[in-house]
């Protein structure tokens, strides 16, 4: 069975473009420094948490799948 590889599966974010749009007075040297620092601050765990939340939302809303609730033994 062939797989459909025709979908976006990589996340790419242009930090420099964001800085230019939101901090128009920032010069290129400062943008370069901020871009470099941003890579140290970006936490892949936060990105993975966002993906997990998306999976949960999709499963619940589109597939009618919900996590099994633990039964209360009291």
Per-residue pLDDT reduced to its tens digit, 25-62: 999 999 999 999 998 999 899 999 999 999 888 888 88
pLDDT of residue 64: 73
The model's pLDDT over 55-70, given as tens digits with 9 standing for 90+, comes to 888 888 888 776 667 7
Which domain range does residue 50 map to?
15-61
Whether residue 73 is contained in a domain is answered as no
Q: Domain count for the chain, please give it.
A: 1
Whether residue 20 is contained in a domain is answered as yes
Whether residue 6 is contained in a domain is answered as no
Total-model pTM: 0.61
Whether residue 5 is contained in a domain is answered as no
The answer to whether the beta carbons of residues 44 and 8 sit under 8 Å apart is no
């Amino acid at each position: 069975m062939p797989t459909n590889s025709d979908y976006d599966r990589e996340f790419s974010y242009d930090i420099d473009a964001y800085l230019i749009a939101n901090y128009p007075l920032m010069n290129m040297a400062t943008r370069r420094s901020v871009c470099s620092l941003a890579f140290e601050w970006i936490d892949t765990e936060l990105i993975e948490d966002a993906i997990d939340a998306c999976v949960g939302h999709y499963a619940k809303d589109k597939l009618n799948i919900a996590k099994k609730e633990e039964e209360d033994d009291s």
